[in-house]
Amino acid sequence: MKHSLQRKLLYSYMAVIIIMLIMVSIGVSYLIRDYFIFSKKRELMNKAYELSRVVDDYYQGTINLHQLGIFINSVDSFLDARIWVVDGSRRVIAMSTPQRRYGPGGPWHRPGMRPGGMGIPLEANARGMIRKCLEELNQVFEGREWSTTLRHPFYDEEMLMVSIPVIQANGGMNGIILLNSPVRSINEYMQRIYYYIAAIGLVAVLLTIVIVNWLSRGIVRPLREMQLAAQAMACGDYNRRTGIRTDDEVGELGKSLNSLAQDLERFVSETEKVDKLRRDFVANVSHELRTPLTIIRGYTEALTDGTAADPALQAKYLGMMRDETERLERLIKDLLDLSRLQSQNTNAEMEPIPLAAVAEGVVSIFRRGAEQKGVQLQAEKLEENTVISGNGDRLTQLLLILLDNALKFTPAGGKITVGVERDKNLILLAVSDTGSGIASEDLPFIWERFYKADKAHSRLSVGTGLGLAIAREIIELHGGTVEVASAPAKGTKFIIRFPSLEKELKPV
């Protein structure tokens, strides 16, 4: 049978409280009883010494036995103690006889017994019980005090017995005085105390149940929340969070669990994203490779089976096969470039690069092609103090990609502008054109591999669809950021911000 943590805590606290109540009750009861017994013993001792003077008067002949009996009976009435006077030969010469305390069948109403002093006949059984009591008084006859609590063999009840010797003026001993006080009143008082302790204990247990139940709920509730969160994570739900806000160890555990869920959620999201990119990449590469290979295979079969017997047709087929082979070569080259950039193996090749000079060099490469297409290509704001830490070949490749795309999508009569300038601690590279532009819904995806804004991956262009993906890796490699603004039929503008070399060399 499964027991919850809350129930275990409740049972444990209740067991501790009950055990503590029992131990305290036992300890307090013994302490109180011992205190009452000790107080009663001191009182009886004091009264016994006062009685010893009266008993000494009896031995001196000042009073007779009858007067002694009346006196000890009167003392018995207010002291509530049975008084025995025993002489030196261990004979009981007088006993107090409080008849009002005993009904028929009590020790003073046995057959052949009646109250009185010496000479009053007692039955044999009573005399035997008296001798048994006197056997415990050896040390008193030796001149020492004695006290004990036991079940009295004569009165047949629990009594406190106190005895002292009666010493003569010359140092001799006349006998002893024995006081037998019932402890039933103390027991009755202790029984009332037990009732009070039991009632208080019951209230304490009930309060303990309420308080411990409340406390255990406060302990178990956050643990339950963490259990549900862990179960949710085990089932793949990493959005579940615990609502624990305490500053104790449980709160720290809840925060750690929330942090773990957040990290797992991020990891799973990144994993799914990477997996999707991998699948898309494989699909796109397969598509890009399959199409030229299919074309090459078709033309090869046409040439080998004699379908294309016309020399002009054969030359056309061979030219198309060459174009597709070059396309495959560019695709493989771009894939290798992208792979190298993503591995970031070019960090060791960084050096101070004047970005304006690189831009001017690339513009001169495209100038003749732009003139042939009827596109105006200009280099504006090429400031000289625009040095960055970078790789010259990669920065040249970045500009080649951007200008190639700009020239490709800018019609005759359009304009392409390249600019490099400083903006505080940043170097800005801007490439703008007045071409066909990019639709707003396509802008977030232009950096993805094999993405083309025409949605059809038209084969009229010679691009591989990897240019901007390579460009983004080059920008990130140099610690830069890029911003793109474009509108259909109005053109596109790329603004790339690189940290200047002075900022990178600034001491920390």
State residue 211's pLDDT score: 84
The CA–CA distances, whole Å, from 255 to 5, 118, 205 equal 21, 92, 36
Q: How far is CA 390 from the centre of its chain?
A: 49
Q: What are the start-end ranges of the H helices in 248-310?
A: 249-304
Provide the terminal-to-terminal Cα distance of the chain, rounded to the nearest Å.
64
pLDDT band at 465 (very low <50, low <70, confident <90, very high): confident
Helix axes 5-60, 65-79, angle to 10 degrees: 160
Answer whether 165's CB lies under 8 Å from 141's CB: yes
Q: State yes or no: pLDDT of 2 exceeds 70.
A: no
Listed range (238-242, 277-281, 320-324, 444-448) with the worst mean pLDDT? 277-281
The residue assigned the tokens 């003392």 is 75
pLDDT band at 462 (very low <50, low <70, confident <90, very high): low
pLDDT digits 0-9 by tens, 27-56: 888 888 889 899 999 999 999 999 988 988
State residue 403's pLDDT score: 92
pTM as predicted? 0.46
Contacts of 373 (CB under 8 A, 6+ apart): 407, 410, 412
Where do the domains of the chain lie? 5-189, 238-343, 348-504
Q: State yes or no: pLDDT of 1 exceeds 60.
A: no
pLDDT digits 0-9 by tens, 433-457: 999 888 888 888 888 877 766 544 4
> 365-392 burial by CB neighbour count: b if 16+ within 10 A, else e?
ebeeebeebebebebeebeeebbbbbbb
Mean pLDDT confidence for 12-20: 83
Q: Please name the fold of domain 5-189.
A: Beta-Lactamase (3.30.450)
Where is pLDDT greater, at 300 or 244? 300
Q: CATH says 348-504 is which class?
A: alpha beta
Q: Identity (one letter) of the amino acid at 494?
A: F
Q: State yes or no: pLDDT of 120 exceeds 50.
A: no
Q: Please name the fold of domain 238-343.
A: Helix Hairpins (1.10.287)
**3-class SS of residue 497:** strand
**3-class SS of residue 305:** coil
> How far apart, in whole angstroms, are the C-alpha atoms of residue 77 and residue 65?
18
pLDDT digits 0-9 by tens, 343-364: 655 454 788 999 999 999 999 9
DSSP at 162: E
pLDDT digits 0-9 by tens, 389-426: 988 888 998 998 899 999 999 999 999 999 999 988 89
| Tokens coding 210 | 């309420």
Q: How far is CA 28 from the centre of its chain?
A: 41
Mean pLDDT confidence for 483-495: 91
State residue 419's pLDDT score: 92
State residue 28's pLDDT score: 85
Listed range (229-238, 260-269, 275-284, 488-497) with the worst mean pLDDT? 275-284
| Tokens coding 367 | 């100038």
Strand order through the sheet with 173-182? 92-95, 82-87, 173-182, 158-167, 146-151
Q: What is the 3-state secondary structure (H, E, C) of 164-232?
A: EEEECCCCCEEEEEEEEEECHHHHHHHHHHHHHHHHHHHHHHHHHHHHHHHHHHHHHHHHHHHHHHHHH
